[in-house]
Amino acid sequence: MAAPWEDVLRNEAAVQEAARVAVDAALLAGVLMRTESEPNASDVVNYAPFTLFPSAVPSALFEQAYAVQQDFNLLVDAISQNKEFLERTLASTIKVDDFTARLFRIYMQVLEEGLAQSVFLGINRSDYMFDCGVDGTPALKQIEINTIAASFGGLTSRTAAVHGQVLKVLGKSKEASRILPNNPSKGLALGIAKAWELYGSTSAVVMFLVEEVQRNIFDQRCVENELWNRNIRVIRRRFRDVFEKGSLDDARRLYMDSQEVAVVYYREGYVPKNYDQQNWEARLLLERSRAVKCPDIATQLAGTKKVQQELSQPGTLEKLLPGSDEAVARIRATFAGLYSLDVGEEGDKIAAMAIADPDQFVLKPQREGGGNNLYGEELRQVLEKIRDSPERTSYILMDKIKPQPAMNYLLRAHSPLQVSECISELGIFGVYVRQGKEMVMNKAAGHLLRTKAIEHADGGVAAGVAVLDTPYLV
């Protein structure tokens, strides 16, 4: 997967100059983040970290990832409507994982009351790495699918131009012209706009449910601005605001500060630390409402690691997507080995297998947002400690994916410029809208490439480990 700029990679003067151009281009293009010291103010901002060079991505795998996205959209949507499947799959997990259990309780409560919501909007991002097989041929393997708060669809739409300019500065205009345009934020906004339209009240607003700490606001603003451009009003509120000022009328229409809310787009609510008792109450209020939640709680549960593991079991995909053999085959081709640690003989065998050879696996709890997985020696120690306890069922085990590293420079504010051995993760954004039983939109909305130095096993851009990148197809 050699990229055609190996010749300049070690030319220090050229790299220094390109990095200066790149940083200014990123600032001009809006590849921005608020600073760690002032995460809730835009007075001082910085560029979001990104690679100096685009990274080579095998075009066949890139196309494969796009081609399977609509299948994944249909799969997530099918899971979200399958109470029996969610109940059975998460039964062992919710016994030991309090967070998943609380989400599940809201899910059941909302179902018992009966859904007021009739329009459904899914925005997800399916993430992959390029696993290097024994013969060196890379294969597309899914890391996970994010069904809530999948981020960077905004900022990533700005990196292609930056990388194009870098290549031009380095005398690689032909290569620059081959960089693909990419604008997930537009696709996400089209989905939100469709859901808003189907909700059917022109005076209603779209509410972005945002975190207390909002460093990544510019990424969200990209989507917001696309909505304003379509004359759709957007408000930004936190769980706390919903708790204090949110209400439902008799028809369970949601009101915030006396404005009716058509769509709630969560960029928050996916980790335990997002919730205190009041925030849980706010979440319940939102879920009970008629507003289109993106995602509704069932779709959030469809994105759990435990569900991912269950999908890899023989026959599961066929049951969830009956009569769709080709879609099932496309989906299955992207799966790495996934194993249940449920109590029983099979789980005992899996635990022993991982303890004996920890470098071949990743141990994953039911958490999102990066930095939670366990690898190598740490994996072995933790698993040894919990191997005879039901606590092990709060984890799943996954084959470790091993991509071929490539050299690149990671540009980060206040960090020295140095070459690193890197690996990349490709994400494809999916958007779909369903009204009752009818799918009215099902699309792939663009891509995100994130790259990190190989010494970090885990962690995304927000966690300060990975940086934004642009694929260069080879």
Contacts of residue 313, defined as CB under 8 A and 6 or more positions apart, other chains included, come to: none
Q: Are strands 259-266 and 205-209 parallel, antiparallel or unpaired?
A: parallel
- Is position 376 an interface residue for ligand ADP (rule: CB under 6 A)? no
- Is position 337 an interface residue for ligand ADP (rule: CB under 6 A)? no
DSSP code, position 157: G
Closest residue by Cα to residue 237 from 280, 268, 196: 268
Phi-psi region of 95 (alpha: psi -120 to 50; beta: other; left: phi over 0): alpha
Is 450 marked within a binding site? yes
- Is position 362 an interface residue for ligand ADP (rule: CB under 6 A)? yes
Q: Which is nearer to ligand ADP, 246 or 358 (CB)?
A: 358
Cβ neighbour number for residue 277 with a 10 Å cutoff: 8
Four-point Cα dihedral 277, 283, 285, 287, nearest 10:
-150
Residue owning tokens 């996400």: 188
Is 367 marked within a binding site? yes
Closest residue by Cα to residue 103 from 375, 400, 295, 301: 301
Q: Which is nearer to ligand ADP, 97 or 425 (CB)?
A: 425
Minimum distance between the CB of residue 403 and ligand ADP, rounded to whole angstroms? Answer: 8
CA-CA distance, 444 to 326, in Å (whole number)?
Answer: 18
DSSP code, position 150: -
- Is position 144 an interface residue for ligand ADP (rule: CB under 6 A)? yes
Strand partners, 294: 265
Sign of CA dihedral 151, 153, 157, 159: positive
Q: Which window, 10-18, 58-66, 209-217, 362-370, contacts ligand ADP (CB under 6 A)?
A: 362-370
Is 461 marked within a binding site? yes
- Is position 306 an interface residue for ligand ADP (rule: CB under 6 A)? no
Q: Are strands 419-435 and 395-399 parallel, antiparallel or unpaired?
A: unpaired
Helix or strand run (H / E) with residue 351 = helix 345-356
Q: Which residues are catalytic?
A: 125, 144, 146, 151, 305, 364, 368-369, 450
Is 370 marked within a binding site? yes
Cβ neighbour number for residue 335 with a 10 Å cutoff: 16
Binder of ligand ADP out of 372, 407, 440, 443 (CB under 6 A): 372
Q: Which is nearer to ligand ADP, 348 or 458 (CB)?
A: 458
CA-CA distance, 45 to 221, in Å (whole number)?
Answer: 14
Binder of ligand ADP out of 76, 143, 145, 207 (CB under 6 A): 143
- Is position 462 an interface residue for ligand ADP (rule: CB under 6 A)? no
Q: Which is nearer to ligand ADP, 89 or 424 (CB)?
A: 424
- Is position 369 an interface residue for ligand ADP (rule: CB under 6 A)? yes
- Assign 3-state DSSP to the chain and report helix, strand, coil percentages, each to 5: 40, 25, 30
- Is position 295 an interface residue for ligand ADP (rule: CB under 6 A)? no
Q: Which is nearer to ligand ADP, 74 or 401 (CB)?
A: 401
Q: Which is nearer to ligand ADP, 104 or 339 (CB)?
A: 339
- Is position 365 an interface residue for ligand ADP (rule: CB under 6 A)? no
Is 376 marked within a binding site? no
In the complex, the residues that contact ligand ADP under the rule CB under 6 A are 127, 143-144, 336, 362, 364, 367-370, 372-373, 398, 400-401, 425, 458, 460
Binding-site residue set for Mg(2+): 144, 146, 368
Binding-site residue set: 125, 144, 146, 148-151, 214-216, 220, 267-270, 305, 364-373, 375, 398-401, 425, 450, 452, 458, 461-462
Binding-site residue set for substrate: 125, 148-151, 214-216, 220, 267-270, 450, 461-462
